[in-house]
């Protein structure tokens, strides 16, 4: 229910800001695809069981998709801009806790890889905070 209300809110913001572009349409279509697949998996337990590995593996690039562009942006600007270090410190801590819990309970290599990749990416951003701590963003030339 919260996902649907989030999409309604996003659609309303986009409508009133006149920013309903191709990215929003693509996101909405991906959401609809996810919804259809989720309903299919819930209604067919065999499909769910056989596709569990695939869905876990697909989560790796999806979860990394927010961190990699941020790392590249920080590197190009030689600055972390207005990011807050505490956010990434907490994300790294949570990721390490999930990695440890998975290691102790299920030892599922796909889930451990997902958390490991996210730990690495969060740690990379934290290292960038140390490298670019007092840096100012580059000024754009007119």
Q: Which residue has the higher pLDDT, 57 or 73?
A: 73
| pLDDT tens profile 10-69 | 677 767 766 566 666 677 777 778 777 777 766 776 766 666 667 777 778 878 888 888
pLDDT of 106 > 60? The answer is: yes
Residue range 123-137, pLDDT digits in tens:
999 999 999 988 776
SS3 54: helix
In whole angstroms, what is the distance from residue 66 CA to residue 14 CA? Answer: 21
Between CA 1 and CA 41, with CA 98 as vertex, the angle to 5 degrees is: 40
Ramachandran category for residue 107: left, alpha or beta (phi over 0 → left; psi -120 to 50 → alpha): left
Closest CA to 38 of 22, 58, 20, 23: 58
Instruction: Tell me the C-alpha distance between 29 and 22, whole Å.
Output: 10
Confidence of residue 111 (pLDDT cuts 50, 70, 90): confident
Q: How confident is the model at residue 94 (pLDDT cuts 50, 70, 90)?
A: very high
Q: How confident is the model at residue 9, as a pLDDT?
A: 73
- Supply the pLDDT for residue 101: 95
Helix axes 109-131, 67-77, angle to 10 degrees: 20
Cβ atoms 47, 40 nearer than 8 A: yes
């Amino acid at each position: 229910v919260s996902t649907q209300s989030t999409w309604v809110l996003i659609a309303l913001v986009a409508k009133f800001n006149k920013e309903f572009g191709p990215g929003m349409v693509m996101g909405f279509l991906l959401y609809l695809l996810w919804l259809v697949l989720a309903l299919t998996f819930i209604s067919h337990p065999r499909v769910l069981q056989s596709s569990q590995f695939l869905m876990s593996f697909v989560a790796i690039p999806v979860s990394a998709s927010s961190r990699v562009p941020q790392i590249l942006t920080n590197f190009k600007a030689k600055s972390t801009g207005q990011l807050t270090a505490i956010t990434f410190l907490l994300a790294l801590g949570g990721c390490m806790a999930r990695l440890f819990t998975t290691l102790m309970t299920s030892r599922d290599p796909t889930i451990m890889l997902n958390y490991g990749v996210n730990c690495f990416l969060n740690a990379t951003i934290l290292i960038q905070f140390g490298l670019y701590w007092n840096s100012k963003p580059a000024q754009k030339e007119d």
